[in-house]
Structure formats: structure tokens, C-alpha cells
Amino acid sequence: MRVLVTGHNGYVGTVLTPMLVKAGHEVVGVDTNLYKGSTFGDEPERLALTEVEKDIRNLEVSDLAGCDAVLHLAGLSNDPLGDLNPDLTYEINHRASVRLAALAKQAGVERYIFSSSCSNYGAGGDDWLHENSAFNPVTPYGKSKVMVEQDVSKLADDDFTPVFLRSATAYGVSARLRFDLAVNNLVAWAYTTGRVYLKSAGTSWRPFVHIEDMSRAFVAALHAPREAVHNQAFNVGRTQENYRIRDIAEIVVQTVPGSRVEFAPDAEPDKRNYKVNMDKIAQTLPEFKPIWDVRKGAQELYAIYQKVGVTVDEFEGPRYRRVSHIKELIASGRLDESLRWREMALA
């Protein structure tokens, strides 16, 4: 199949694209490349058949011509970045995603797989949540994901199949590594300072998924029969991979020798609290076979941090911290206030 992947040069995209190529697909990559200066370790492999440096807000029907499926990863990727400018979060994460789905349908694309999130459940409490559980998002990021699902589902018909993959909190090694994610961040603090530094009280529940397993879910949803996935949502991960944040901290202590848990002075309970059941994807998509757990992932991260080397100033600073990186690009005049490259504003 000819598959268009938005955000193919991002944290997850640099892991997913090689999987698609290995599976025999032709990949068209679309990325605005906001994080081209944030590579951790080796540069990502250039595997896409065609690469288009374009803002998803500027895509047209012609960009999707001949594609069989769209895997939509691109967007403002976390809660702090979403809080930077909530209006932009809704413009990019919501309206541009719905517009892209409409363009895909117009272009004759048969399947639209949207990278949604378990953040949809937000303040979900301590009970188990399933795909039909109520949404209760508490951030612009989470709200934008809910709105996309609600609007894109209305486009479903006999010729157009949307699929919504609600991934758990991601972790794992990537050439475009994100240090703002819980497991990645806590291992980095432990490696660089000996402190497993918790910025919240650590009592909240959260499901976790390695980005390789997350990518496997996209491949499985792409390959699945239409009737198995048509206009369906799937929680992505494994049910047993739900942890309280303080439990993640203990795993990190056991992984990084000499480290200890320390709470930030202003650490408070996190409103985001959700414990998510993942049985549906395991039962519906037999191709999806996740292989990672948080302990194994923490070991992988510790090893790569030792190999590449990283400092607190780097992973907490503008090179790798998404929101700080965006602010620096705006301050330097390279990016405008709408998060478009100035030289690409008319592209």
C-alpha cells in the first residue's frame, strides 16, 4: 500500500516508518520538521519514498493523491505544549486533523488512522476504563483529541474508514527522543543527578506503552480487515502496564544504581488519573503483539543515556524540551507566532 504518514520525522514517526517499509509499504512522509535540531544520537533513517516538508494545515487533496491510507501522527504533542497556546492546539490538533480526514476522503483514501490518546479519559478516577467509558479530558491536548474523534467519526461511510488509536503514555528510545514523557524523564533525572525527580505527588494512575509497540498497533490497524476496525477506537497498550507514577519511580530506582526518589517542592496530585483496559485491541487485532514493559524500557533508556550522554541542562532545556524548543524558535524569528516557519508561511 501507499501510506501517507504525517509527523514521520517525529518521536513516534521515526520508529513507525521503518516498520512500514519493512512490511512492504510505500511511505509518503509529511513533516514540518520543527524538531530537526533535536536529534538524540544518530540521525533518523531516511526511509520514506517521498518526503514533503509541509505544515499539515497547508495540505491539499493533491498531496494525498494515490494514497491508500493516512496515518496521522502530527500535532502539538503534549500537555505543556498545548497549554502554551490553547487556540493553536485546537487549530492544529483538532481543525487541521478533521480537515485532513475530509481531504483524504475526497482523495479516495480508504483508511484514516488517527493517533488519539488515553488522555481523552483525563480525570478518570481509579476504576477501569474501556473504549466506551466517558471522556473527561482536563487539558487542551486531551480535549482536542476527543473533538477529532467525534468529528471524524461522522465522515465514516462505505468508502472511508476512520480508526482511532488511543495510545497510552509513550516511552522508549527514538532519534527524536522526548524527555517530557514520564519514563524517559525520570530515567534521565536518575542518570544525570542520582535523583528520580517527581514533579507530582505520584499517586495518579497512568497506562504506558513503548513507542515500538505503539507503532505495531498502527501497522496492525492498517492491515486489519475493514469490518474489524471501521469507525472503531482502540486503547493501545497492555492492561497489565498500568502503574501509579510512584511505581514508575521505584522501577527507575531499581534500574539506575545509586538513584533515589525525590519530590519537587511544589509536587501535588495530578488531575490526569486514568487506569485503562487494553483487552479490545488484543482480541480484535491479533497481529498486534506488544513485547515491551516499563522495566525493560527503563533499562533501554538507561543504556542509551550512558552511550550518548546527556545533561540536565540539555534534557530540561530548549534542545529537547518541546515547549522550550518552540519558544526558542519563535524568539529567534525562525518560527512565527502561528508555529509556521517564516520561509514556509506561504507554502
What pLDDT, on the 0 to 100 scale, is given for residue 318?
Answer: 87
Rounded CA-CA distance 300/211 in Å is 12
What pLDDT, on the 0 to 100 scale, is given for residue 79?
Answer: 55
Across the chain, which has 347 residues, the per-10-residue mean pLDDT values are: 96 96 96 91 77 95 97 83 78 97 98 97 94 95 96 98 98 95 96 93 94 98 98 98 96 97 86 95 98 98 95 89 87 92 62
Reduced to 3 states, what is the DSSP secondary structure of residue 128? strand
Amino acid at 69: A
Amino acid at 62: S
Hunting for cell 500537555 — which residue is that?
79
What pLDDT, on the 0 to 100 scale, is given for residue 323?
Answer: 83
Q: How far is CA 246 from CA 186, 204, 301, 318, in A?
A: 11, 8, 18, 27
Amino acid at 15: V
Rg (CA), the chain: 19
What pLDDT, on the 0 to 100 scale, is given for residue 45?
Answer: 73
DSSP secondary-structure letter at 341? Answer: B
Judge whether 153 and 192 are in contact, CB under 8 Å.
Answer: no
What pLDDT, on the 0 to 100 scale, is given for residue 345?
Answer: 44
Rounded CA-CA distance 62/213 in Å is 32
Judge whether 187 and 137 are in contact, CB under 8 Å.
Answer: no
What pLDDT, on the 0 to 100 scale, is given for residue 346?
Answer: 41
Amino acid at 324: S
Hunting for cell 525493560 — which residue is that?
296
What pLDDT, on the 0 to 100 scale, is given for residue 320?
Answer: 86
What pLDDT, on the 0 to 100 scale, is given for residue 82?
Answer: 58
Q: What is the pTM of this model?
A: 0.95
Q: Which domains does the chain have, with CATH numbers?
A: 2-344 (3.40.50.720)
What pLDDT, on the 0 to 100 scale, is given for residue 24?
Answer: 95
First to last CA, the chain: 27
Rounded CA-CA distance 228/130 in Å is 17
